[in-house]
Amino acid sequence: MTLSSNPEMKIFTGNANPALARDICSYLKVPLGDATVTSFPDGETFVKINDNIRGRDVFIIQPTCPPTNQNLMELLIMVDAARRASAARITAVLPFFGYARQDRKDQPRVPITAKLVANLLVAAGVNRVLTMDLHAQQLQGFFDIPVDHLHAMPVMVEHIRSMGIENLIVVSPDVGGVKMASAYASALDTRIAIVVKQRKSATETEASHIIGEVAGKNILIVDDLTETAGTITSAARILRKHGALDIYAGISHTILTDLAVERLRDSDLKELISTNSVPARLTTGSRVTSLSVAELLGEGIRRIHDDESVSSLFEVKQTK
């Protein structure tokens, strides 16, 4: 959907990650829109948009992180409120897209929930989606509306370069992450290795062997998401056994459960580098560094509003 003119931009947020929304507004030098988003005593969500948004270009920032269902319902109801208030266009900004791992039927009689969520967003009145580091690229095809898919890699690579880590190798913690690891390796001008794993349960994985030479190397494990930290801590353990030196992890989204915090505290990881796509859970001993993606998402919002290309945001600046 292209706007016939350039109406005023209005940005709102639910309760999922208001700090990120404020940082985005600070980057864009626009005020955060006034909206009441609360719950009735029985748990039902209530939304009231207090600003006039008739004919405005509305952006609603709401990652669907835990509590996932609550945050998703807030987003859907905010979109419905904006549509009924005659917004010219509604863009759902999801720094983290929940339910993304339920993207196929891998067992009999199970849903494809990621597609259901896409349908719900469109049905509520979303005209466009801006998101970051989807668990699977093909999720963009679940939407019948435009999807702008950003990547945290430029932000992560800039930080990792600033650390001055020598003799670095990028490691994919499983075979499915090879494409992402290759992109990081290319940006950092190094090579990759792969950890082969077996999933034992929903919360536990076991690394079995390594493809590539890691002895005497510093390691960067890259992945899009960790929730229980089972995959990355298991990978770090086998990398250490094979002679790796300092082991870092670069993860786009960290949905850290109590089990994850415990595993990270007792792991072979020196540092976990992530983003503030979801509220950071920085606890003593967890060794987590959170990088801001407010500028990246803010620039994406600005370019969508101005009908400019967002593809250049994928580029990693080259070193001199």
For the annotated catalytic residues, the residue numbers are: 197
- Reduced to 3 states, what is the DSSP secondary structure of residue 137? helix
Are 47 and 36 in contact, with CB atoms under 8 Å apart?
Answer: yes
Environment class of 246 (CB within 10 Å of its CB; exposed 0-12, middle 13-18, buried 19+) = middle
Give yes or no for a cis peptide into 18 (omega within 30° of 0).
no
Query: What is the distance between the alpha carbons of residues 85 and 95, in angstroms, rounded to a whole number?
Result: 25
User: What radius of gyration, in Å, describes the C-alpha atoms of the chain?
Assistant: 20
Show Cβ contacts of residue 312 under 8 Å, excluding neighbours closer than 6 positions: none
What's the helix, strand, coil split of the chain in %, to 5? 35, 25, 40
Mention every residue, 6+ apart, whose C-beta is less than 8 A from residue 241: none
Residue 52: count of CB within 10 angstroms of its CB: 11
Closest by Cα among 123, 114, 155 to 252: 155
Long-range (24+ apart) CB contacts under 8 A made by 114-123 are 114/139, 114/142, 115/142, 117/64, 117/72, 118/142, 118/143, 120/72, 120/76, 121/75, 121/76, 121/79, 121/92
Strand partners, 226: 254
